[in-house]
A and B are shown apart, each in its own frame.
Chain A
């Protein structure tokens, strides 16, 4: 059974800092790895999807990497802004489902 873990559970940084969120998964037989953003009381917004054959994906200030052999993914956020404050979730796709971590709650202070 796939298990996904995210570290840290919470992170508070000053505006402008670069930061890294970590995600690990136990079963490397995944189709892809997705990163989502969730604002309080809201649904999920897809940020990046990395296929199992890829090593990284970039979108604007976001860069996600994937190392299937070690069961790890990272989300790098450059030049953080207060509007980046949210919970970030990673999810591994196996078969028909996403298996999510518990998320990292990010606060970017002005």
Chain B
């Protein structure tokens, strides 16, 4: 079956612009996660959805970052007033029910803010 997909694969934007990154989880997975990975670092947790609700958004760095999952499937990570420091790989993962289960990762979206 299809894995986690993310679009776009690459995004170049200018400082101050708004961007949206999309994640399609594995069908039937109720848990969805966003992580951010800077070059040479491990991924860092941003937010976790269980169904439609954000069960844990404590990893979002500031109020410029927001994520939604309105129908409990596709999720969109939204970044307002982008800054150069937002440049990173944004990874999405899903798992069947969350908690102790394996998280399956998508290929990521590489964001470059000029």
Contact = CB atoms under 8 A, between A and B. Distances in A.
Interface of A: 4, 31-32, 34, 36, 41-46, 49, 51, 89, 91, 93, 95-103
A97 B108 contact: no
Given A89-B42, A100-B43, A101-B42, A31 B99 contact: yes
Interface residues of B, number: 28
A89 B93 CA distance: 15
Contact of A49 (B42, B56, B59, B102): B102
B42 A102 contact: yes
Interface in B1-45: 4, 6, 33, 35, 40-45
Given A31-B99, A43-B6, A93-B100, 14 more contacts: A41-B89, A42-B108, A43-B91, A43-B107, A46-B102, A96-B33, A96-B48, A96-B98, A97-B33, A97-B56, A98-B33, A100-B42, A102-B42, A103-B42
Contacts of B105: 36, 43-46
Contacts of B43: 44, 89, 91, 98, 100
A93 B105 CA distance: 15
Nearest to B109: A43
B103 interface: yes
Contact of A97 (B6, B48, B107): B48
A100 to B, nearest CB: 3
A54 B43 CA distance: 25
Main SS of chain A's interface residues? Answer: strand
A102 B33 CA distance: 19
**In this complex, which of B42, B100, B103, B104 has the most chain A Cβ atoms within 10 angstroms of its Cβ?**
B42
B55 interface: yes
A97 B45 contact: yes
A88 to B, nearest CB: 11
Contacts of B42: 4, 89, 91, 100-103
B39 to A, nearest CB: 10
Contact of A46 (B48, B89, B98, B103): B103
B109 to A, nearest CB: 10
